[in-house]
């Protein structure tokens, strides 16, 4: 990489205890990415495993920035973006593996239409099957549609039909954050991710704010990468279950009408009250408390 010339793409990874998956991810980037000027930025969110040492010893081209505290996915990406010099940012999860040089296609699509702000490539499961990586606009209706699509895809008889829907480049409402290609200028203009989201819904919020500005979000199936899905979440499933609901409530406060906010809270109250009564799960009680404590913060 010639650091004297302008950087075209800054690849940003936020790592938290990802020593098990980081080598495969970084090796795949170095193996397949072949464009004149790009940089790799890893933001470590105060990992307690060997992640930092692994990067320092084996990946000298990586720009490593260490956070004193784990403040979440959005904060980590925002921190990485402050050091990025690329015209475009490619936000990647550490549990992804590239299998081809996907950046030229993403750059070409972005340059072909100035109204395109975010592009999501096709995500694959480790067995090569399609991983659904887009969503309709979130709300009561959108969440129902997204859940129905995911449930249908678990039905073998429905998989081919759903895969046919994602055979062509198309405009979508939301791209998941595992592989998120965005114009850096717009990312900075919008202030990056809303740091009130620790995890979940932060990419949905950013996609929504991008659309408020009149830009488009597109999905392309013409390039793909593998996503192991859920590596960091599995290690703290109970905490993340609570965080999911906190982020969901906050998202609705920012973007959904009052009646949807009320309907969501009523649904969650009775759902988790029933769970607490039948299982005495303390997480259910914590989620009930969230319904009365989550406040919309200034962004």
Contact 224, 129 (CB under 8 A): no
CB atoms within 10 A of CB 39: 19
Q: Which of 233, 256, 272 is the C-terminal boundary of a domain? A: 233
Residues paired with 90 in a beta bridge: 11, 181
Q: What pLDDT is stored for residue 264 in this prediction? A: 95
Domain that holds residue 134: 9-233
Q: Indicate whether 203 and 280 sit together in one domain.
A: no
Q: What pLDDT is stored for residue 281 in this prediction? A: 87
Q: What pLDDT is stored for residue 293 in this prediction? A: 85
Q: Indicate whether 227 and 263 sit together in one domain.
A: no
Contact 126, 226 (CB under 8 A): yes
Q: What pLDDT is stored for residue 239 in this prediction? A: 77
Q: What pLDDT is stored for residue 68 in this prediction? A: 93
Contact 209, 127 (CB under 8 A): no
Q: Indicate whether 143 and 252 sit together in one domain.
A: no
Q: How many CA atoms lie within 13 A of 133 on its CB side?
A: 29
Q: What pLDDT is stored for residue 299 in this prediction? A: 44
Q: For the domain that residue 218 is a member of, what is the CATH number?
A: 3.90.550.10
Q: Indicate whether 241 and 155 sit together in one domain.
A: no
- Kindly state whether residue 174 falls inside one of the protein's structural domains: yes
Q: Indicate whether 39 and 98 sit together in one domain.
A: yes
Q: Indicate whether 32 and 69 sit together in one domain.
A: yes
Q: Indicate whether 206 and 130 sit together in one domain.
A: yes
Q: Indicate whether 183 and 58 sit together in one domain.
A: yes
Nearest to 108 by CA among 130, 88, 124, 134: 88
Q: What pLDDT is stored for residue 296 in this prediction? A: 65
Q: What pLDDT is stored for residue 298 in this prediction? A: 44
- Chain centroid, CA 124 distance in Å: 15
Q: Indicate whether 114 and 59 sit together in one domain.
A: yes
Contact 44, 56 (CB under 8 A): no
Contact 179, 227 (CB under 8 A): yes
- Kindly state whether residue 299 falls inside one of the protein's structural domains: no
CB atoms within 10 A of CB 166: 17
Flag residues of the chain having pLDDT under 50. 1-3, 298-299
Q: What pLDDT is stored for residue 104 in this prediction? A: 97
């Amino acid at each position: 990489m010639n650091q004297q010339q302008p950087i075209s793409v800054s690849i940003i990874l936020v790592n938290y205890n990802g020593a098990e998956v980081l080598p495969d991810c970084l090796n795949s980037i170095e193996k397949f990415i072949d464009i004149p000027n790009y940089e790799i930025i890893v933001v470590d969110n105060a990992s307690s495993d060997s992640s930092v040492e692994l990067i320092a010893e084996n990946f000298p081209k990586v720009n490593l920035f260490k956070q004193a505290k784990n403040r979440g996915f959005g904060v980590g990406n925002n921190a990485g973006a402050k050091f990025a010099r690329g015209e475009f940012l490619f936000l990647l999860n550490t549990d992804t593996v590239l299998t081809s040089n996907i950046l030229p296609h993403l750059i070409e699509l972005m340059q072909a239409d100035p109204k395109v702000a975010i592009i999501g490539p096709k995500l694959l499961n480790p067995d090569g099957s399609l991983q659904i990586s887009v969503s309709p606009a979130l709300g009561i209706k959108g969440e129902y549609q997204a859940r129905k699509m995911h449930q249908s895809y678990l039905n073998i008889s429905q998989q081919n039909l759903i895969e046919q829907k994602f055979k062509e480049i198309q405009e979508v409402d939301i791209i998941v954050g595992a592989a998120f290609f965005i114009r850096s200028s717009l990312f900075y203009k919008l202030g990056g991710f809303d740091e009130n989201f620790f995890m979940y819904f932060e990419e949905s919020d950013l996609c929504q704010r991008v659309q408020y500005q009149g830009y488009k979000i597109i999905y392309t199936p013409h390039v793909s990468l593998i996503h192991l899905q859920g590596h960091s979440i599995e290690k703290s499933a109970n905490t993340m279950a609570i965080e999911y609901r906190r982020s969901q409530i906050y998202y609705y406060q920012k973007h959904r009408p009052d009646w949807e906010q009320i309907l969501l809270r009523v649904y969650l109250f009775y759902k988790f009250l029933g769970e607490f009564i039948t299982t005495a799960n303390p997480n259910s009680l914590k989620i009930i408390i969230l319904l009365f404590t989550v406040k919309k913060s200034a962004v």
